[in-house]
Amino acid sequence: MRSIALIFVLLNSVLFLNAQETDLEINYNKLEKLISFCDTTTEATEVLIYHKNKEIAFWRNGECHTYGMTTSSMVKSWTSLVVGILIDHKIIDGIDTPVSKYIPDWEAGSVNKITIKHLITMTAGMNRRSGSRGILVEKNMKEYLLNFEPDTLPDIRFGYSNESVQLLGMIIEEATGMEANAVFKKYLFEPLGMDSTNLVKDEAGNDIVFGGTKTTIRDASKVGKLMMQKGNFNGKQIVSKQWITASLRPGKHAPFYGYLWWLDNASKNPNYAATGDGGQLTIIYPELDLLFLRNQSCFPNGGHRMPWMGPYFLNLIADIVQKPLVEMIDNQPVIESNVSSIDIRDGKIYKEKY
């Protein structure tokens, strides 16, 4: 099977397209439109796209000289996977286990009967704390959390919270007797071949599991592939199918949220995502067998907000997958695609249809 590699040099950015001749479901005109939007509107640093577990496009903005990827909150979804793996291995008892079993010194968790499920679904009764009010400014996050007081009783409403996820990190460490980074490496990063990925630490040396992980867009893509294959990677079941299914089940108090995964089941193209501040994205469209990743390493406007994130952008991604046009010639199906062969002459790309 012959592969065709396309390289577009656009100003200071480079787009690599890898097209399999048998994969005629990609509309390359819409793909170029998507990349252009990611460049000019979202001001992304990198975009990586897979269809049917095969890379179809990689784009990088050459004006950004900061390499690698900082996940921001995208790593929260990875923390969910590690919890699931430890439950699969019976290292953690189960999703409904009281937090007090692993963190007995957290008095509020014991009094309020908070469970692992409350933490992983963001229903532990914690409001979002930003700026100087939250865990982000704490030098010793573990010490801070042992004295942390929730805002309400658990299982009343959804409340997005960094504190909830960091408490899961403490549970991971107590259950295994290992630092969180070592656990992530043993059970997730190494099995997936994520050799360039590490958690970061606070000033006291505590591993942070709710944000800031150092990685690359290609390492991050392996988590997306794991999810697309229902917990399987390169023929090995890393986390159970049951955990993946449960992770993507809409929450009782938040139909848009599962086990630290954002859910979009109302869209014409249902998808779920791991997201981080500034537009760090892993978006999966199960029905389209499509995986999209976006990395922001430079912030040309000095801001981390994502005003472009919404239905238009999500549909722009999904629209690159098209149904092939099938016609019959001499009683044999002939499939037409918008790209069939590429010839590069004099530095220009010529596209020809079948």
**Entry pTM:** 0.87
Q: What pLDDT does 62 receive?
A: 87
Q: Over pLDDT 70: what percentage of the chain?
A: 82
Higher pLDDT, 141 or 346: 141
Mean pLDDT of 184-204: 98
Type of residue at 180: A
pLDDT at 34 over 70: yes
Q: Helical H runs in the chain?
A: 28-40, 75-88, 107-111, 116-120, 141-146, 162-176, 180-184, 190-192, 217-228, 241-247, 311-318
Confidence of residue 338 (pLDDT cuts 50, 70, 90): very low
Mean pLDDT of the chain: 87
Closest CA to 83 of 144, 200, 169, 178: 169
Q: What pLDDT does 328 receive?
A: 40
Q: What pLDDT does 75 receive?
A: 99
Confidence of residue 65 (pLDDT cuts 50, 70, 90): confident
pLDDT at 304 over 70: no
**Integer CA distances (angstroms), 193 to 153, 172, 294, in order:** 40, 21, 20
Reported as a single tens digit per residue, the pLDDT across 205-249 is 999 999 999 999 999 999 999 999 999 999 999 999 999 999 999
Q: What pLDDT does 131 receive?
A: 59
pLDDT at 1 over 90: no
Closest CA to 162 of 203, 198, 212, 205: 212
- List, in order of start, the domains of the chain with CATH numbers: 1-65+266-354 (no CATH), 69-260 (3.40.710.10)
Q: How far apart are CA 171 and CA 187, in angstroms?
A: 15
DSSP 174-204: HHHTS-HHHHHIIIIIHHHT-TT-B--B-TT
